[in-house]
């Protein structure tokens, strides 16, 4: 009997090794979404970790306005935003999931339904560890009669052939029949007359394209307006420090490997017969993924907390984690604006979006890059004068840049003055895909009698239980915040009534100002304004 048992054990061991689902995709730059999913879905839910996730999210939510407001968002968003997060967390606590990945998808989509770019749930074990692409970004094009229809972006091949040069053949060969190899046509490759590029999209997966657009908008997150979330499906652009970058859109680029293929019915340019084809999505490893060889090392290297996960002690000058390094501080990867130098920006009030897809550096094709910027343009800030000679354009890709806030404000002033001197009397501010930054820079108010001594930055804070405790800790022991860096330090705020600083011992969250939001008891601070150092420049 003994030899037989040994044989069976050997066989089991061999099988287990052969099917390690994360070994299959180890070291691969490109793989199928199905294989990525098989690795991701191979981990069972650990009840202790699940309970901890729900508990931490639940406690953290007390800082977020969204929780109570988005149960039924105030007008004009009432029809678009209605997520009862606490009810969903209770549901998730009870629900069984086939895998940890399924739990993640539910958590992620639930939080995204808040449609609040400041309140997001990201797990860098899964979100954008791989990005999943189709080489066919879509756009809405407007006909001369002003009707709009969905098209494969005319620049699709120009973008894909540069960004996906090493994977293009897989897609070319996946196209059926006469379309095979026709993402573009070789002979006219450089004249921008591409076979599929520019084609009108009549159906996605057999349905009107807007069925897919609207389904995506339900879980796209980040923005309250439905129209803004619809736009996210389509290709776009963003001004970044190094130039212009192309944004693939949420049809052509997925942060989770949830789709294997898309079936499109298209009408090619100058063709009269619609054609239907199915093209596979392909998953590309993210730049910050730490290599692994099997399931165990996949998990160890990419899925556990690291030193920077839970924040950084800014009061320890020798702490290497003070650096904005995405390897050390994983959250940095998901910022939607380039970080200003930490030493200059720490004291500025800022609001930056986080998203489960990090900023990408896909290049905008040269033919689409705007030329002839106005002197003074710099970094994320570009100025143009339209042909009418009186319309200025300020393309502002971010509300912060790599330098100081003073440099940034000076750039804005210089460019605007130059535009005015060139004859501009009106201004278009293009904030396409601007992910946020310094709040003060976003207040382009212009001089008014009311902007002195402060420009209308009156605000209130949430006075949740943890926030109240933090204020009491600071008042009890001010030495825990030697640099006066904490948002909860009273010394960072002024009374708006007389523009004087809060006293150091002022418990500004107690008593709180109670409010009832969507039937729930909530609590806020009194109205206050930032101290000048917080809004005007480095200290
Ligand atoms: C979230 O926290 C509230 C307040 O402490 C508690 O009543 C509720 O049960 C918690 N929800 C979950 C799902 O843990
Ligand atoms: C479509 O036809 C027009 C008119 O004949 C021609 O100018 C254009 O180049 C054609 N486009 C493509 C993609 O073949
Ligand atoms: C991707 O998959 C999801 C979930 O199965 C589906 O709802 C969505 O329509 C798919 N999107 C595309 C573009 O195929
Ligand atoms: C993480 O922190 C510990 C304790 O401070 C330190 O010993 C270790 O070297 C740090 N690891 C990294 C990767 O910085
Ligand atoms: C800010 O609050 C002060 C004090 O209540 C008030 O006088 C001022 O008008 C407010 N400013 C704005 C812009 O709301
Ligand atoms: C400023 O106004 C606040 C709120 O009314 C008050 O408590 C404080 O004493 C005032 N400070 C000065 C210097 O008048």
SS3 246: strand
Question: Per-residue confidence at 536, pLDDT binned at 50, 70, 90?
Answer: very low
Say which residue the tokens 């910027």 belong to.
373
Residue 125: pLDDT above 50? yes
Domains and CATH numbers, the chain: 1-125+289-304 (no CATH), 130-285 (2.30.42.10), 310-442 (no CATH), 465-530 (no CATH)
Nearest ligand atom owner, CA of 53: 1
pLDDT tens across 39-51, in order?
999 999 999 999 9
pLDDT tens across 467-510, in order?
999 999 999 999 999 888 888 999 999 998 888 999 999 999 99
Q: Are strands 426-430 and 391-396 parallel, antiparallel or unpaired?
A: parallel
CA dihedral 324, 328, 330, 336 (to 10 degrees): 20
Question: Per-residue confidence at 396, pLDDT binned at 50, 70, 90?
Answer: very high
Residue 191: pLDDT above 80? no
Residue 357: pLDDT above 80? yes
Q: Tell me, what's the pLDDT at 461?
A: 92
Please name the residue whose Cα sits nearest to atom 7 of ligand 6: 495
Q: Does the C-beta of 270 come closer than 6 Å to ligand 2?
A: yes
CB 222 within 8 A of CB 117: yes
Q: Does the C-beta of 185 come closer than 6 Å to ligand 2?
A: no
pLDDT tens across 47-63, in order?
999 999 999 999 888 88
Please name the residue whose Cα sits nearest to atom 11 of ligand 5: 456
With both helix axes pointing from N to C terminus, report the angle between 100-112 and 85-94 in degrees, rounded to the nearest 10. Answer: 170
Average pLDDT over residues 394-421: 91
- Write out the E strands in 456-507: 493-495, 500-501
DSSP per position, 10-45 = HHHHHHHHHT-TTTTTTT-SEE-HHHHHHHHTTSPP
Q: Tell me, what's the pLDDT at 340?
A: 66
CB 536 within 8 A of CB 467: no
Q: Tell me, what's the pLDDT at 193?
A: 45
Q: Is the model more confident about 388 or about 64?
A: 388
Q: Does the C-beta of 508 come closer than 6 Å to ligand 3?
A: no
Average pLDDT over residues 368-385: 94
CB 462 within 8 A of CB 517: no
Residue 100: pLDDT above 60? yes
Q: Give the mean pLDDT of the chain.
A: 87
Q: Are strands 130-133 and 529-530 parallel, antiparallel or unpaired?
A: unpaired
Which residues, listed in sequence order, are joined to residue 262 by a DSSP beta bridge?
Answer: 279
Tell me the two tokens of residue 80: 């678009």
Residue 189: pLDDT above 50? no
Residue 427: pLDDT above 90? yes
Average pLDDT over residues 239-264: 96
Q: Does the C-beta of 267 come closer than 6 Å to ligand 2?
A: no
In the DSSP assignment, the letter for residue 395 is: E
Average pLDDT over residues 508-518: 96
Residues 102 and 122: their CA atoms lie apart, in Å, by 14
pLDDT tens across 157-187, in order?
889 999 999 999 999 889 887 777 777 643 3
SS3 254: strand
Residue 242: pLDDT above 60? yes
Q: Does the C-beta of 269 come closer than 6 Å to ligand 2?
A: yes
Average pLDDT over residues 415-442: 92
Nearest ligand atom owner, CA of 493: 6
Nearest ligand atom owner, CA of 154: 2
Element (H, E) at 272: none
Q: Tell me, what's the pLDDT at 190?
A: 39
Nearest ligand atom owner, CA of 310: 4
For the ranges 205-214, 395-404, 486-495, 527-536, the lowest mean pLDDT is seen at 527-536
Please name the residue whose Cα sits nearest to atom 9 of ligand 1: 90
pLDDT tens across 283-324, in order?
999 998 999 999 999 999 999 988 888 777 778 777 665 555
102, 207, 258, 278, best to mutate for ligand 3 pocket (most atoms within 8 Å of CB): 258
Q: Tell me, what's the pLDDT at 267?
A: 93
Listed in sequence order, the residues at least 6 apart from 537 whose beta carbon sits closer than 8 Å to its beta carbon are 404, 405, 406
Percent of the chain topping pLDDT 70:
87
Residues 209 and 100: their CA atoms lie apart, in Å, by 32
For the ranges 186-195, 273-282, 361-370, 530-539, the lowest mean pLDDT is seen at 186-195
Q: Tell me, what's the pLDDT at 537?
A: 37
> Distance, CA 270 to ligand 2 centroid (Å)?
6
Residues 407 and 437: their CA atoms lie apart, in Å, by 14
Q: Ligand 5: residues whose CB is within 6 Å? A: 450, 456, 458, 496-497, 527
């Amino acid at each position: 009997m003994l030899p037989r048992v040994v044989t069976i054990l050997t066989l089991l061991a061999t099988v287990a090794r052969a099917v390690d689902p994360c070994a299959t995709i180890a070291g691969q730059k490109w793989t199928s979404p199905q294989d990525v999913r098989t690795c991701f879905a191979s981990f069972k839910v650990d009840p202790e970790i699940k309970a901890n996730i729900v508990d931490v999210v639940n406690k953290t939510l007390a800082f977020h306005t969204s929780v109570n407001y988005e149960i039924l968002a105030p007008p004009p968003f009432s029809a678009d935003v209605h997520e009862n997060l606490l009810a969903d967390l209770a549901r998730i606590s009870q629900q069984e999931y086939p895998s940890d990945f399924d739990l993640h998808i539910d958590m992620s989509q639930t939080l995204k339904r808040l449609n609040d770019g400041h309140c997001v749930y990201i797990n860098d074990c899964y979100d954008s560890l791989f990005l999943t692409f189709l080489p066919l970004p879509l756009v809405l094009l407007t006909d001369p009669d002003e009707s709009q229809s969905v098209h494969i972006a005319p620049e699709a091949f120009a973008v894909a052939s540069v960004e996906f040069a090493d994977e293009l053949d897989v897609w070319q060969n996946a196209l059926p029949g006469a379309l095979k190899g026709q993402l573009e046509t070789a002979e006219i490759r450089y004249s921008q007359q591409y076979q599929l590029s520019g084609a009108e999209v009549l159906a996605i997966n057999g349905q009107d394209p807007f069925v897919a657009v609207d389904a995506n908008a339900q879980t796209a997150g980040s923005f309250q307006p439905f129209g803004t979330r619809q736009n996210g499906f389509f290709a776009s652009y963003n001004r970044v420090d190094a130039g212009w970058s192309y944004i693939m859109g949420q049809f052509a680029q997925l942060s989770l490997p949830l789709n294997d293929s898309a079936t499109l019915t298209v009408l090619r340019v100058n063709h009269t017969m619609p054609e239907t084809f199915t093209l596979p999505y392909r998953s590309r490893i993210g730049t910050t993924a730490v290599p692994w060889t099997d399931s165990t090392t996949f998990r160890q290297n990419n899925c556990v907390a690291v030193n920077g996960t839970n924040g950084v002690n800014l009061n320890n000058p020798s702490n290497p984690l003070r650096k904005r390094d995405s390897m050390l501080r994983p959250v940095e990867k998901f910022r939607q604006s380039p970080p200003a130098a930490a030493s200059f920006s720490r004291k500025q009030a800022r609001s930056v979006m986080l998203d489960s897809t990090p900023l990408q550096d896909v290049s905008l094709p040269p033919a689409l890059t705007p030329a002839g910027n106005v002197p003074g343009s710099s970094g994320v800030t570009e100025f143009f004068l339209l042909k009418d000679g009186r319309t200025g354009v300020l393309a502002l890709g971010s509300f912060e840049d790599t330098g100081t806030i003073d440099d940034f404000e000076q750039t804005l002033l210089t460019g605007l003055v130059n535009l005015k001197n060139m004859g501009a009397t009106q201004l278009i501010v293009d904030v396409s895909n601007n992910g946020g930054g310094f709040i003060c820079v976003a207040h382009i108010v212009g001089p008014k009698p009311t902007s002195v001594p402060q420009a209308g930055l009156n605000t209130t804070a949430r006075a949740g239980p943890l926030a109240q405790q933090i204020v009491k800790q600071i008042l009890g022991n001010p030495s825990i915040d030697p640099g006066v860096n904490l948002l909860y330090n009273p010394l960072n705020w002024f009374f708006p009534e007389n523009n004087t600083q809060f006293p150091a011992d002022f418990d500004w969250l107690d008593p709180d100002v109670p409010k009832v939001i969507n039937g729930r008891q909530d609590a806020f601070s009194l109205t206050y304004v930032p101290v000048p150092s917080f809004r005007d420049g480095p200290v």
